[in-house]
Amino acid sequence: MLEGLVARLATTGSSIYKSLQSREPESCDFLSYDYLLHEVCPYFKFGYMSANGAIVEAMKDEERIHIIDFEIGEGSQWVALIQAFSARPGGAPNIRIIGIGDGSKLVAVRRRLEKLAKKFDVPFKFHPVSVSSCEVEAENLDARIGEALGVNFAYMLHHLPDESVSTENHRDRVLRIVKSLSPKVVTLVEQECNTNTSPFLPRFLETLSYYTAMFESIDVILPRNHKERINVEQHCLASNVVNIIACEGAERIERHELLGKWKSRFSMAGFEPYPLSSVVSATIRALLKYYNNGYGIEERDGALYLGWMDRILVSSCA
């Protein structure tokens, strides 16, 4: 938080954010920091498991499945999904995943998922799309007749500029493009944090409250002076905090909204809620037994919320 304030005064927030972002893909260490963060707190597993649960349920009778993943990252979400489909009575369906993301990472993601699908005997194809989510057009997404389409937005829609930043409003534009492809299910996982259009002071206080809860939840597993803990904070979280506090306008990429606002955006684009089933929430509750009892899950209006103590941190819906 202090680094963010210093960067704001020195107007260096944007260059700090870019340098931290560009350092990530080259480094094998980053993968291990990312993995460690996934292991010490359940926020990512919660998001991936709930989204996968909605996709598996919506696609239970489909033989040909096409998944579009915006900002696929390391592709780790799809490991469990491929395994789940491999166990389907009557054999696995054909799965085709389009991964949108960083070109340098997509090669490794493809290799990893193809190897896994082969191991579990799942008919599988992976198509990398190396464009930024802001530049995506319908033709990049290669929707085909005869395939049931699922679209995954996990921790990424908040990176798209909306009407407060750009007349193009990529946030709503991408949702309209996805709607035009008539998907069977769309999953959304986002940080439950309100930093998009807030003026500086409320945004600072919201960020302080949000990351205080997250860092305190990490405290129960890793002490603050632990070398790996410091690396996780520096490489996986620091750039986001600096960006929210020190950047304005188009340079502020981290622009979170609360689920209520996301729901109204989806509804304007023509989507209807697809409530998550009791099986999904039971699976998440079972997952949380492996973590500290400070974590809690709440079900509300067909969506799931994960929090630490009295602060909701992540929401998931379809």
Dump pLDDT digits (tens) for 95-153.
999 999 988 889 999 999 999 999 999 999 999 999 999 999 999 999 999 999 999 99
- Position 30 scores a pLDDT of 58
- Position 25 scores a pLDDT of 40
Specify the pTM: 0.94
SS3 state at 46? helix
Q: State pLDDT tens for residues 305-318.
A: 999 999 999 999 99
- Position 23 scores a pLDDT of 58
- Position 29 scores a pLDDT of 63
Helices then strands, counting H and E runs in the chain, come out as 12, 8
What residue ranges of the chain have pLDDT lower than 70? 22-31
Using alpha carbons, select from 74, 125, 79 the residue that is nearest to residue 101: 74
- Position 32 scores a pLDDT of 76
Rounded Cα gap, residues 316 and 307, in angstroms: 12
Selected from 3.40.190.10, 3.90.226.10, 1.10.3720.10, 3.40.50.150, the CATH number assigned to the domain covering 27-194+253-317 reads: 3.40.50.150
In total, the chain counts a number of residues equal to: 318
Helices (H), 155-277: 170-180, 200-219, 227-232, 238-246, 259-268
Inter-CA distances, 114 with 76, 120, 142, 158, Å = 13, 10, 19, 29
In the chain, domain spans = 27-194+253-317
